[in-house]
Structure 1
Amino acid sequence: MSATKTGTTGTPGGPRRAGGSRRAHRLGASVLAGVLALGATACSGDDEPEPDSRPRSSDAAPTTDPGTDVRFGKLAGRLPAARRPAVRERIQQVFDRWVDAAYVGGEWPRADVDGAFADFTGHARARARRDVDLMSNLAIAEQVEGVEQLGRTLRIDVVSSRGRASGATARFRLRFRTTGAVATTSTVRGRLFLAPERGGWRIFGYDVSRGESA
């Protein structure tokens, strides 16, 4: 038996599922259009990142962190090679903080997912809290004895302006297994829409689905 949930927010002109907002938070319309266009053209199937058998340059090499397979996807505009590693690292950090706090990190069982949405903008954070059963393991957190990560893949599409990254779509796929009273294998996949702000990158919208099987 399997179940699937979906949630969308911060995607102007796109589908409005589960009451998702069409308004992006604190991002210029031209940058937003570029980010969404990149996400649409770079996706395959239902937003699951594809394996890439091409030789990897230093810009496309995966992180040394064994937990996440991360690479650049599409690059729109000019982003100098010297700036690419920092952009990749900062976006991965935002992604990893969410995934670790929401789904696979920490001690289990537990009663909260504190910090899971710390890197979301105010609008996106409020929406994610309403979608908390989709965007975290909170609904089952007190019934789970352990979580085993089975795979974590991230592909980053970047829009650049004047030599600097101005927006990004992070396409991801996460698989994990829970044990305890709730023993399931879950796959969470989709897109996070990000923009740089003072102090780091922030998630201003998402298009996420979650499937579970016994």
Structure 2
Amino acid sequence: MAQIEDYSPFLIGIKLLPGLPLDSIKKEMKKLLTNVDDYIVTPEGRGDIGITIGLPIEPIGLKENVEIKLNLQTESFNIIGDEPEKVNLIFEEIHDLLPQLPYDMDSLVSFYEIIAGVSVKTDSEPPKDILNNSFNVDLTSITENINPNISLAGIRISSLPTNLDQNDFFDLLVEPKTGSYSNRFLVQLRYQTNDKENITNFEVESTISQIINALEEK
């Protein structure tokens, strides 16, 4: 039976439309949060330097170990934590503040997304065996000619977008977890939608458990 151990991390993103004045939006959101209970608002000038191309990720605030950041590279508010329920609650609070910004919602938000890396423990067979027993893939010609240890090392479940502008998108990758090959999966999930309620109602634990349990039962 699959057991979800931890999320590293769990992120809900509010993707903004391109070309908006992000510095102004950041300052306005900080002002709003100063009037909301239990938020620790990050002072100006304390940004995380982006590793890839040097663009800053601006911390906005913190509540109950859930971080709110403005990513200037992806142009999105990111709500990040280790517990999906808490992240979802903070996401709701941040989303409720958006109409107080000096922008119409239709000219502010592009889409919403969930991004998560999830460690899942299995007590049945090793993950590699579960994956290979779940799918009838004949790899004989490859194992004989290249390497006898080659096997199915992961599966990807995805609603591939039909065009580049499509925001309703689900993608999930299941593979053995590095360092815990004998009893753990790493599940990497990404879900995009134009509908905020789809994010609120998305049951991440149930979705992942159903998929892993289905693989175990094959």
Q: Taking CA–CA contacts closer than 8 Å with sequence separation of 6 or more, which of the two structures ends up with the larger relative contact order?
A: 1
TM-score range, shorter chain: under 0.3
Between structure 1 and structure 2, the one with the greater Rg is: 2
Instruction: Give TM-score, length-normalised by structure 1.
Output: 0.26
When the two structures are superposed, what TM-score results if normalisation uses the length of structure 2? 0.26
Q: Which has the higher helix share?
A: 2
